[in-house]
Structure 1
Amino acid sequence: MASVAAWQWFYAIHITRGWFPILCWTLVAIGLAVLVAAQAQRGRRRVLARQCVVAIVCGLVGGAAAWFVSDGIVLFGVELGWDVIVACAVGFLLLGFFVAAAVGTHGWRRVVAIVMVPLTLLATGVRVNAIYGEYQTIGSLVDYSPYPHISTLHVSLDTVSVDAWAKQVASGEVTPEKEGRLLSVDIPNPASKFRARKGLVWLPPAALAKRPPKLPVMVMLAGQPGSPTRFFTASDTIDDLTKYANEHDGLAPIVVSPDQNTASSRNSLCSDTTRWGKAETYLTRDVPDWIRANLPVSRDPADWTIGGFSQGGTCSTQLGPNHPELYGNVLAVDGEIAPTDGNVEQMVEGYFGGDRAAYERQVPVNALRAHAPSKQTMVLAAGEKDTTSVANIATIGDAAEQAGWTVVRIKVKDAGHDWRAVNEAFAVALPWLCDRMGLDVGDMSRHGSGTDERQREERRMQERAGIEVQQ
């Protein structure tokens, strides 16, 4: 038991904030100060000067290389952002100094310099990760999932309406719990045979009742590389959902994060392909079928949202327009203009067996035009430092508006292609979407009324510091 507790403590260590990143950079600073001080005396100043020159050259070369990979050839499909470029430049500068010190010194100084090399690599990696917010804990690095399986919990399908639930809470007939539950789940794949990893499901307090209300659904996808666990562990999603539920009688959407890629290193394009299998069929048949059969959910497409970050955001702008019978709403953050893994010719051959039309069907603007007109809703967000994504939401948003969609575009200030953009966008989009999906049951009725309430939520979005809302 003690060993299990020790591993749980180790996996729970935060690597984006708190003592761990502080410790890493403190040790690097101490090592740097010791080596500089030890060589600052007469007789070694020229050696120290040469080490500093090497460090500066390495920093400039490293920063230029990071810029070239990010903005020059856009190797990863998105710009890394200047915060990352500067972090890489500083990391290369320090590495250059320590490597030069290891070569140019002897004895204990060389030992210190050698030890500083892997420590600097670790500290730089921690800093870059903190900018993105991708891995929050040590456990997330190995996709550690401590969440119990949904089979350990009885989820009732004996439901009431949302309005009836609100009346029961108001009368004191039922008292919702204060917290929801995050559970792991194996979503079967009878239609697709897609080899998905375990998914995660967040159930709001109302869903844990003996007679829960029929709740809306959010199917949310992490990016690539990534996993279903990442959508919850890298973001503030659960905090936002819990806050909303506590302000609304335990009501909040049921959030399901399925696997769309089968592995972190793969990109399924969220499509039915010859390369990785039928991801689209899995996400549009197997996942919805399982949700409807096992969770207390509404069956109205207006109550269903598909969304995600990065590649997950791209998927949502493909699947939402292509499947209006399933998803009435889309919430995409920092998505691409089209599914991407190599150039178009490579994808057409490698994924679609040479069928160009099959690929073009997955391009969001094409999907929007093909299914126009539509009364669906789309919330598009991008970090302002991710200029490519900002341009993408403008293009996709324009196409959606032309197709009849209600569109909200959010630009997150001081954010890039990172989870901060997700956190800010989700925090403002959640109450607005919940309002449209009928969870704010005060004086409004389902889908289409409550204009004053909706306008209030829209004003709240526009007034939130740190974002710019465009409609």
Structure 2
Amino acid sequence: MNNVPLISGALPVLVLILGGLSLLWLAWGGRRHLLVVLPVAAAAAVVLTFLLYVLAEGVLYWWDASLPRSLYIYAAAGILAVLLAAVRIRAAPAAGTRALAVTAAVLSLVAVASAANSAYAQYPTLGSLLDPPRPESAPLPERAPETAAGHPAATEANWVPPADMPATGRLFPADIPGTLSGYAADPGLVYLPPAYLADPPALNLPVLVLIHGRPGGPADWLIGGELLQVLDEFAAAHSGLAPVVVIPDASNAGNANWPLCLDSDISASATYLAVDVPAWVRQHLASGLAGARQWAVAGYSYGGTCALTLAVNFPQAYPSFVDVAGEAEPALPQGRDALIERYFGGDASAFARQNPLDILAAGSFSDSAGVIVVGADDPVYAPQGRKVFDAARSAGMDVSLQTVPGGHSWQVWKAGLAENLDWLGRRLGILAP
């Protein structure tokens, strides 16, 4: 039951049909209903949908122009269903008719939610909605750096898995302090692959730092990105080996002004992600000890911009990166001037010193490599990704540009990581070059 798909197959089609039929039932009626009530309700739904658009994209900045415009049509249909149901409930003399009107409105709203989910692929299965993956309550199995002293980093060439190695990895919560940065962080997540958990274990595994989107949090990688399944499948194909994956909080503990992975007047987010997080991993997980080539950063949307920003500002920390549907530079919906004023006290040069495109234009990155992934149907972020690719290539990076089916959604974000794990495995040393 948990594997029932919510973004493909029969169920979303059935939900859409039931929602459409419910709306038609609510819209049907006598002469006065068809000539007066329905047109007035439809006009009100259009006005309310327009107000939603203004609030969402022009005032509160809930989302931007990457939102599929078809969702506003679905939203208008949902609002219309609620208005028509309210009229029927008010006019109906019988409790059964009122209950039927409520049911029709609910089915219409469920169809709207299903359409939105299909557009973003946030909940790919019924299980991801009703019983999403959660980290374990057991303590994180820490490992002191001394345990790896004198041992080579584990690779597919030198690792022989024990017969009783776990079949899958495990997920744990992790409080990663901002020791140097002073950054306030909500708990992050750590995935430990089967080889880490084996007895005896694989030693000194490489590290992949994943950055989530905005709005969102570390757990989004588990739901829409189906991260545990993706990583376990990679590990199963490579004798239990996979990177130790760390997903820190990139929201600055829910700061109203998200830190944009910059060191700014808001917080020292960049230092946290590029210095504090790696130091904590080395100290507590004895991983990534063999040098910078064992480290990579990746992210989607806001997190993709972060991955690029960190890779360019801290190439010694993250010489490998995957930028999935990120922006060309850290940005606010209100524009660059608003960002510079809010984050840097109006000092444009302070922003330029951390802005990836400015740094790439002036520097050389022959030791860095990256993958930039864009959605074929993403009119907002795909052009920005191509701009980043051109700038990175001009700066000497070993960089590739990939276009995958889909818009600004988990269809692209999940594929952007899953389809590049082999590349990351080679860059990080698990797999042979």
Report the TM-score, using the length of structure 1 for normalisation. Answer: 0.77
Partner of 1:48: 34
Q: Give the C-alpha shift of residue 345 in structure 1.
A: 2.1
Contact 2:22 2:108 survives alignment (8 Å): no
User: 1:198 & 1:356 partners in 2: Cα distance?
Assistant: 33
Which of 235, 247, 254 in structure 2 is aligned with 1:263?
254
Q: Where does structure 1 lack aligned partners over 5 or more consecutive residues? A: 1-8, 442-449, 451-471
Query: SS of the counterpart of 1:79?
Result: coil
1:189 lines up with 2:175 in the alignment: no
Query: SS of the counterpart of 1:228?
Result: coil
* 1:299-318 superposed matches below 5 A: 299=289, 300-318=291-309
Stretch of structure 1 that moved more, 225-234 or 136-145: 136-145
User: 1:286 & 1:143 partners in 2: Cα distance?
Assistant: 32
Q: Tell me the amino acid that sits aligned with residue 375 of structure 2.
A: G
User: 2:10 & 2:142 partners in 1: Cα distance?
Assistant: 39
Partner of 1:388: 380
Which of 47, 63, 75 in structure 2 is aligned with 1:88?
75
Q: Tell me the amino acid that sits aligned with residue 337 of structure 2.
A: E
Contact 1:149 1:185 survives alignment (8 Å): no
What are the Cα deviations for residues 367-399 of structure 1, in whole angstroms up to 9, with x where unaligned? 323442432111111222221111011101000
User: 2:129 & 2:264 partners in 1: Cα distance?
Assistant: 29
Q: Give the C-alpha shift of residue 54 in structure 1.
A: 4.6
User: 2:177 & 2:403 partners in 1: Cα distance?
Assistant: 37
Report the TM-score, using the length of structure 2 for normalisation. Answer: 0.83
Q: Give the C-alpha shift of residue 126 in structure 1.
A: 4.2
User: 1:381 & 1:73 partners in 2: Cα distance?
Assistant: 30
The root-mean-square deviation of aligned C-alpha atoms, in Å, is 3.7
* 1:36-185 superposed matches below 5 A: 39=29, 44-48=30-34, 50-54=36-40, 57=43, 75=61, 76-99=63-86, 101-102=88-89, 107-108=94-95, 109-110=97-98, 112-113=100-101, 116-117=104-105, 120-134=108-122, 146-148=134-136, 151-155=139-143, 157=145, 158-159=147-148, 160-162=151-153, 166-169=157-160, 176-185=165-174
Stretch of structure 1 that moved more, 70-79 or 280-289: 70-79
Query: SS of the counterpart of 1:215?
Result: coil
User: 2:94 & 2:310 partners in 1: Cα distance?
Assistant: 62
Partner of 1:403: 395
User: 2:27 & 2:158 partners in 1: Cα distance?
Assistant: 70
User: 1:351 & 1:138 partners in 2: Cα distance?
Assistant: 41
Stretch of structure 1 that moved more, 189-198 or 393-402: 189-198
Q: Give the C-alpha shift of residue 153 in structure 1.
A: 2.8
- For the structure 1 residues 53 and 15, does the alpha-carbon distance in structure 2 shift closer, same or farther, using more than 3 Å as the test? same
Contact 1:307 1:316 survives alignment (8 Å): yes
1:353 lines up with 2:348 in the alignment: no
User: 1:380 & 1:65 partners in 2: Cα distance?
Assistant: 35
Q: Tell me the amino acid that sits aligned with residue 282 of structure 1.
A: Y
Q: Give the C-alpha shift of residue 77 in structure 1.
A: 3.8
Q: Give the C-alpha shift of residue 229 in structure 1.
A: 1.6
User: 2:374 & 2:59 partners in 1: Cα distance?
Assistant: 21
Partner of 1:436: 427
Contact 1:338 1:362 survives alignment (8 Å): no
| Count of residues paired in the alignment | 424
What are the Cα deviations for residues 232-255 of structure 1, in whole angstroms up to 9, with x where unaligned? 222122222111111111111111
Higher relative contact order (CA 8 A, sep 6+): 2
Contact 2:122 2:410 survives alignment (8 Å): yes
User: 1:258 & 1:312 partners in 2: Cα distance?
Assistant: 11
Partner of 1:6: none
User: 1:307 & 1:313 partners in 2: Cα distance?
Assistant: 6
Contact 1:71 1:79 survives alignment (8 Å): no
Which structure shows the higher helix fraction? 1
Q: Percent identity?
A: 30
Stretch of structure 1 that moved more, 282-291 or 128-137: 128-137
Query: SS of the counterpart of 2:215?
Result: coil
Q: Tell me the amino acid that sits aligned with residue 304 of structure 2.
A: G
Partner of 2:237: 247
User: 2:73 & 2:26 partners in 1: Cα distance?
Assistant: 23
Q: Give the C-alpha shift of residue 296 in structure 1.
A: 3.4
User: 2:429 & 2:273 partners in 1: Cα distance?
Assistant: 24
Stretch of structure 1 that moved more, 90-99 or 238-247: 90-99
